[in-house]
Structure 1
Amino acid sequence: MTSAPHLSTTPPAVTANEQLRTPLRLRLRPNALSTGHVDGAWWPRSRDLAAELPALLAVLAVRLGEIPRVSYNLTEWDTAPRQIAVDGVRVRLSGFWSRPAHTVDVVAGDRRRLTLLLVPPDAEPSAAHDSMMCAAERGNTDTVEVLLHGIAAHESTVDARSTCIPEQMFQGVR
């Protein structure tokens, strides 16, 4: 008599082996000295972090090498596991309530870090595109709030197409 195999209901890591089926919506600054609040922008298709990360990390590994850690704001995503496996590498997912909203930090094995603007999955396409292009501009120093301003304006039914507006333009305006 043989017993049935024991199946765990909570695996230690989610394994991602699927190939990218749709284009990744990612814009990065040119590889240079980092200034500003973000190093680029990512527009995931859902709020499922475990499903969205493998494609992102595969692309970012070209620039960063092995990526063992990702940190994120807990309010931005549905429940996520503590770690996932991407191409045989375990990636620790660290969710924090205190992490800045609308950002994701990707940390390389050598501790280099990319901070990405997180464009909401349900954002209107043209506003999302504009925010992503601004975030990826060389020398951009706009805050996350400024970069997402066009998305918020569109959601409030104001027809305002986002353009890159440097923070300096807001100085002195009351």
Structure 2
Amino acid sequence: MSATLYPTLPHVEPVAAPAAARLALKTDGASRGLLDGAWWPRSRDLPSELPALVKTLDPLWGRITRIAVNPRYWPVIPHKVPVDGHVVKVGWFTPEIDPHKLLLLSYGTGRWDLLIIPPETGAASAARLMRAASDRDGPPLTASALMAAEEALHGVSVADRPLGPDEAWEYEGGASAVAAVIPEQTGPDSRASRLIVGM
């Protein structure tokens, strides 16, 4: 009798426990509009940010197997990211994916599109963008159009440009731990139509 031995994968110890992902998601079933919610990463370090995002979404949406981004705002895009005993494949597409959008796929379950709010965005702008992206009736805008509307309406730049080398360095290790305060919902929007995580 013979036995086949498979090499075990090395156990990687995290340097520090990652903070919870900052998300606002639609919860009312089938999505209407172009986005399923918004993600506000703490830095532009995609290899460090994606595990916390996937850990949060796996129980909600089924195991995330693939992620795609536009490389415009990300200095490093990993090919694979280990998350709690499984590996998520990461790809990038320049013309096909909006620079402010993250595409997530769950094998056999579905596809979701999240607005990516730049990490350096102020808390008030991030809160407005999260509400707009996770609104149960919309938004009828693309991710970049939503970012442009925020800038036009509120006169606040949400960093709609690639970072220079010095700026990228500042954000690679993590942005300041500013927590956004989402104002309490009133009126028809107060129904449980969105899930807010990590705020």
Cα deviation, residue 33, structure 1: 1.0
Structure 1 pair 53/26, CA: closer, same or farther in 2 (3 Å)? same
Cα deviation, residue 17, structure 1: 4.8
Q: Which moved more, 1:30-39 or 1:48-57?
A: 30-39
CA distance in 1, matches of 2:13, 2:35: 27
Q: 1:50 aligns with which of 47, 52, 66?
A: 47
Cα deviation, residue 18, structure 1: 6.7
* Mapping of residues 98-137 of structure 1, within 5 Å: 98=95, 99-137=97-135
In structure 2, stretches of 5+ residues that fail to align are 1-11, 159-199
Match of 1:86 in 2: 83
Match of 1:28 in 2: 25
Identity among equivalent positions (%) equals 32
TM-score of the two chains, using structure 1 as the length reference = 0.74
The amino acid across from 2:19 in the alignment is T
Contact kept? 1:45, 1:52, Cα under 8 Å: yes
User: How many positions carry a matched residue from both structures?
Assistant: 145
The amino acid across from 2:120 in the alignment is D
SS of the residue corresponding to residue 113 of structure 1 reads strand
RMSD value, Cα: 2.5
SS of the residue corresponding to residue 154 of structure 1 reads coil
The amino acid across from 2:150 in the alignment is G
Match of 1:139 in 2: 137
Q: Deviations over 1:68-117 (max 9, x none)?
A: 10000011211122111101111100111122120001100115011000
CA distance in 2, matches of 1:147, 1:90: 31
Cα deviation, residue 22, structure 1: 3.0
Matched, 1:150 2:150: yes
Q: Deviations over 1:10-57 (max 9, x none)?
A: xxxxx6857754342100011411121100000001111110011110
Contact kept? 1:128, 1:151, Cα under 8 Å: no
CA distance in 2, matches of 1:108, 1:120: 24
Structure 1 pair 16/79, CA: closer, same or farther in 2 (3 Å)? farther
Match of 1:96 in 2: 93
Contact kept? 2:19, 2:52, Cα under 8 Å: no
Contact kept? 2:20, 2:52, Cα under 8 Å: no
TM-score of the two chains, using structure 2 as the length reference = 0.65
Q: 1:72 aligns with which of 69, 72, 96?
A: 69
Match of 1:165 in 2: none
* Structure with more contact order per residue of length (Cα contacts < 8 Å, sep ≥ 6): 2
